[in-house]
Chains A and B, each alone.
Chain A
Amino acid sequence: MSQVVSLQKALELDVARVGGKTLHLAELDAAGFQVPPAFVVTTDAFVEHFQRAGAGALLESYASPGPTQLAMLRDHQLSPELVAEIARAREALARRIGNANDADLLCAVRSSGADEDSASASFAGQHATYYYTGAQDIPQRIIDCWLSCWSSQAIAYRAANDRSAPRMAVLIQQMVLAEVSGVVFTRDPTEPVSERLVIESCWGLGAALVDGRVTPDRYRLRRIDHRLVSTKIGTKRFKVAEDLIDPEGTRLEAVPRHLQRRETLEPEMLQRVAELGAGCETHFRAPQDVEWAIAGGQLYLLQSRPITTLIAAAPQVKGRWVIFKPIIENFTEAMTPLTIDIVRRVIPRFGQFIDGRFYINFNMIKALVPLDISDAQLADLSLMRPRVDADVPRFDYRRVWLPVLLGLMGYLSWGMLLVRTRHLPSQALAGFKVRCAAVIADDRLDALTATRRLFYGASPFAPAGHLAFQVNVSSARYFILMDGLRSLLARYAPDFDPNLIGSLCAGSTDMLSTQLIEDLRTVAKLADSNTTVRRLFDEEPAETLSARLAAEPEARAFMSGLEGFLARYGHRGTREMELAAPRWQEDPTPLLGMISNMLDATQSDDDRGTKQRALAERALVEALPNQLARRIADWLIRRIRYYATLRENTRHFHVMALTTIRQKILELERELIATGALKCPDDIFFLTWDEITMLRGGQSDWRDVSILIRTRRVDHARLSERMPPSTFNIELDPREADATDLSGYCASPGTAEGIARLVLDPATDAALRPGEILVAPYTDPAWTPLFVNAAAVIVEVGSYLSHAGTIAREYGVPCVVDVEGCMQRLVNGQHLRVDASNGRIQVLSKPATEPAP
């Protein structure tokens, strides 16, 4: 029997011979779906090839070939009979398509494992696929597909899913030269109960999306009538290069800037894609993960497989863990593998990374906090959630010896630093910049040693400017002072609203985060004062604005101001705690978006913060007649303001260190791409340090890591869509909330009513109109301009001490943080009442119009 059959003939064979992917496509083709013409090399050819190569043993077990055997198998050619059969099938394919010159026909070569795309295991991303394959390369690509059966990921996946020994067919499909492509999940894999389907799309070939290499546009639609529920436009920086035939070339190319933030699907095509997904689900009677592509206005179905991971299993975690709030409130996405691997090497084992987020050992916290409180109460404390209704916790004197002992040791280790940082002006930290510059200039330091040097490298007696991390830790003592102030006011000024304490302690003039905004405002004024620059900001898309400004002679003053700003703050950016995140100095587009927001935010009341503080101070004078208590309170307020500023300012230098480490990584990436060990920008962030070292030393190459990177990218994208659990193996007290209201914690007091405005990207989402309520997943400095116009701020994660809380208090904006599910439950246009003092958000009415995309 022939070992090469057409897609139509494949329908007559069983899954063991043509593989799950081929059989599904053959069925859909027969059912009238638009499937690209294809033929398949059956598993008989697979078996015969490896037996002929003397590797029959591999077919009977999970055994993996060693490097020598793998190299031998890679070089072992297909039999001449099979090559001839494939050539004939390809000619037939060319004739069917009507391609007169079949030498021009390009194909996609896809694995189709016998146990692939089944209802219980999809093997998504485990086996190889090759695009833009010409006639002469097909035999080698078939061998490469077969060998991907023994990639370490595929072996592990097979073992974990109790699959049988490998059998693989290979599908050779007409290459669809896609203008837009993507995936439709007929049920949202991250929220299976939501009755929504999800469509993801990107420019060009969908491989970049499937591999997790681009942030796609993401559409959520109701399953029942395909009505659009939400749209998230991704920044599609890359697409698959169209000259992939060159094996030495990089696999991705940059998307032109004006297309990066442009929506990829028109409403009509969006509906067609949704219908395609629904059709596949109806056909197979199960939720499907469907790959599609659009070329020349035609919508093609490339693949359909069951969704096997509808409910992602939580990792099996031993022990009790609580999320580390200071990191998660800076960005909620999962950290990349390289960021984790580098950072974890300088952190002792009191914490661990779970699904890309950092957690602290709860049992250790329990041992160190000698308070007589429940686990749930202690977890709330660890999560920086105030418990205003709770009684003052009592000391458990039986457990006090360990914290006292550790406290004494800590005093000996940290006491001098605590003294040094009592009166440390922020200018004294500027030495850290010199330290970072020295690390960058030192070619002997790689990213890992640079990290160690910047975290621990300085002697304990080095100038404080070299000890930014230690200064940050030492300034955290203002938590204790804040508690002291609360207790003092509760005792001597019981009528004073404790929510106003934050406003009392705000108002620092020395805080770099607010200075950053003031400096940016100065740059924005330069833009506003020049009609040409202002016009460019009003008319030019953000993606091309930078280039236009650089080319415009009249924009020189503005560009000079911008350069000055970048010299001081260029190391910052969005998601700045993540090493993979680009900085403003690399790409100022987000910064120009912030300036654009500022230009639209001139009508706001800038003095809200000052007014709020004056109000709080008056209330304190009235509520606290005792002079001695007043003096103590004033001293505490001054100290809290000082330490809060110091802590916020050290963040500026932490980010500088991370940017330095990132520069070292990018140097290494350039070297690896030049040698062909890596093919795509940013792939390096999906390897561990040991894997990079092996690549660099030549002990491994691109083929060894390509599938690994793809798998990790997909995992990272999926994990980043989920809000991580706050704790593992700890039962928290349920929150008070009802079906219509949301609740969180007060970070800045006050009440406000306004229209909800959900913002996912502060740089590219349009500016807030005065009176709108900002709803955000988290905030960092890039979000600050939006606070100026906001009537109130609602943040999904965060705490009183987070960036959102600190800035909201500075601007006097009511702010509720830690509002679980606000990004899912609130929609644009809803009329909201925010009672920040009590942490309540009430939905007063539905949006007047459909949610804006």
Chain B
Amino acid sequence: MNAVLIFIVAIPLSVELCGRLLGLRDVWLVRDARPGAVQRLIVPTLVLGVMVSWAAPEHLGTLLSGLLLPPLWQVVTGYAMRLVTRIPRFQARSISSHDRG
């Protein structure tokens, strides 16, 4: 039961943590926005610490799987989307009332 719970909680935690980390990188060149972006990392990092102490040692693998799922999913779907839109039958069509023949 704990393993399932850890896996489920790890997914939104991963989304938040990765999102906020990438968010920090996004605003790195905007000096005024940096402190806010760093602050926003505090809560998910603390939650990650709590999760690690809860899951360790027997459920660390489960926690890691839950944390890795969102970034991996994003990579797979991102590239799948690119591939799919290269296949003509999955591309949008165009029809016209002036089409002849």
Contact = CB atoms under 8 A, between A and B. Distances in A.
Interface of A: 153, 155-157, 159-160, 312-315, 317, 337, 340-341, 343-356, 358, 409, 411-413, 415-420, 422-425, 427-428, 452, 456, 459-461, 463-465, 711, 715, 718-719
A816 B13 CA distance: 44
29 contacts: A160-B101, A312-B97, A315-B95, A315-B99, A343-B92, A344-B92, A345-B85, A345-B91, A347-B91, A348-B85, A349-B90, A350-B92, A413-B73, A419-B15, A419-B16, A419-B19, A420-B19, A420-B23, A423-B27, A423-B40, A427-B29, A428-B26, A428-B30, A452-B86, A456-B78, A461-B71, A463-B25, A464-B22, A715-B98
Given A156-B101, A349-B90, A415 B30 contact: no
Interface string B8-45: 00011001101110110111011011001100100000
B50 interface: no
Given A352-B92, A423-B36, A463 B26 contact: yes
A417 B93 contact: no
Given A416-B22, A423-B36, A315 B74 contact: no
Given A348-B90, A420-B22, A160 B77 contact: no
B69 interface: yes
A406 B13 CA distance: 20
A349 B89 CA distance: 8
A353 B15 contact: no
Contacts, number: 148
Interface in B39-90: 40, 69-71, 73-75, 77-78, 81-82, 84-86, 89-90
Count class of interface residues, chain B: 35 or more
B100 A352 contact: no
A346 B85 contact: yes
B85 to A, nearest CB: 5
Given A156-B100, A423-B27, 8 more contacts: A314-B97, A315-B99, A413-B74, A420-B19, A423-B33, A423-B37, A424-B27, A461-B22
Contacts of B95: 315, 317, 352-355
A52 B42 CA distance: 89
Nearest to A456: B82
A155 B65 CA distance: 62
Contacts of B2: none
Contacts of A424: 23, 26-27
A160 B98 CA distance: 11
Contacts of B84: 348
B33 to A, nearest CB: 5
A428 B33 contact: yes
Given A344-B91, A416-B19, A452-B82, A464 B26 contact: yes
Contact of A416 (B40, B74, B90): B74
Given A160-B101, A419-B19, A423-B23, A351 B96 contact: no
Nearest to B94: A353
Contacts of B99: 315
A416 B86 CA distance: 25
Nearest to A464: B26
A643 B23 CA distance: 16
A422 to B, nearest CB: 8
A456 B85 contact: yes
Nearest to B20: A419
Given A423-B33, A452-B82, A348 B23 contact: no
A824 to B, nearest CB: 21
Give me the 7 closest cross-chain CB pairs, A-B, nearest first: A419-B19, A156-B101, A415-B15, A315-B97, A156-B100, A353-B94, A715-B98
Contacts of B98: 355, 711, 715, 718-719
A460 B29 CA distance: 19
A509 to B, nearest CB: 14
Nearest to A457: B82
Contact of A347 (B27, B33, B85, B101): B85
Contacts of A353: 92-95
Contacts of A461: 22, 71
Contact of B100 (A160, A409, A417): A160
Nearest to B97: A315
Interface of B: 11-12, 15-16, 18-20, 22-23, 25-27, 29-30, 32-33, 36-37, 40, 69-71, 73-75, 77-78, 81-82, 84-86, 89-101
Q: Which of B23, B77, B90 has the most CB of A within 10 A?
A: B23
B72 to A, nearest CB: 9
B29 A355 contact: no
A471 to B, nearest CB: 10
B86 to A, nearest CB: 8
Contacts of B30: 425, 427-428
Given A412-B73, A416-B18, A347 B96 contact: no
A410 to B, nearest CB: 9
A452 B85 CA distance: 9
B40 to A, nearest CB: 7
B22 to A, nearest CB: 5
A416 B71 contact: yes
Residue among A341, A346, A358 with the highest chain B CB neighbour number at 10 A:
A346
A159 B101 contact: yes
Nearest to B101: A156
Most chain A beta-carbon contacts within 10 A, residue among B11, B30, B82, B97 = B97
Given A347-B85, A413-B73, A419 B23 contact: yes
Nearest to B77: A413
B93 A349 contact: yes
Contacts of A427: 29-30
A463 B30 CA distance: 13
B101 A313 contact: no
B56 to A, nearest CB: 25
Contacts of A313: 97
Nearest to B31: A427
A416 B73 CA distance: 11
Given A344-B94, A428-B29, A459 B82 contact: no
Contacts of A312: 97
A449 to B, nearest CB: 11
Nearest to B23: A420
A64 B89 CA distance: 29
A460 B15 CA distance: 13
B9 to A, nearest CB: 14
A355 B97 contact: yes
A153 B98 CA distance: 11
A418 B19 contact: yes
B70 A412 contact: yes
A459 B78 contact: yes
Contacts of B70: 412, 415-416
Contacts of A351: 92
Contacts of A412: 11, 15, 69-70, 73-74, 77
Contacts of B78: 413, 456, 459-460
Nearest to A126: B100
Residue with the greatest number of chain A CB neighbours at <10 A, chosen from B22, B84, B90: B22
Contacts of A420: 19-20, 22-23, 26
B13 to A, nearest CB: 11
Contacts of B25: 463
A642 B91 CA distance: 33
Contacts of B36: 423
Nearest to B36: A423
Most buried by B among A348, A718, A719: A348
A349 B71 CA distance: 26
A153 B100 contact: yes
Q: Which of A416, A428, A719 gathers most chain B CB within 10 Å?
A: A416
Max chain A Cβ within 10 angstroms of own Cβ: one of B29, B89, B95, B98: B98
Nearest to B24: A420
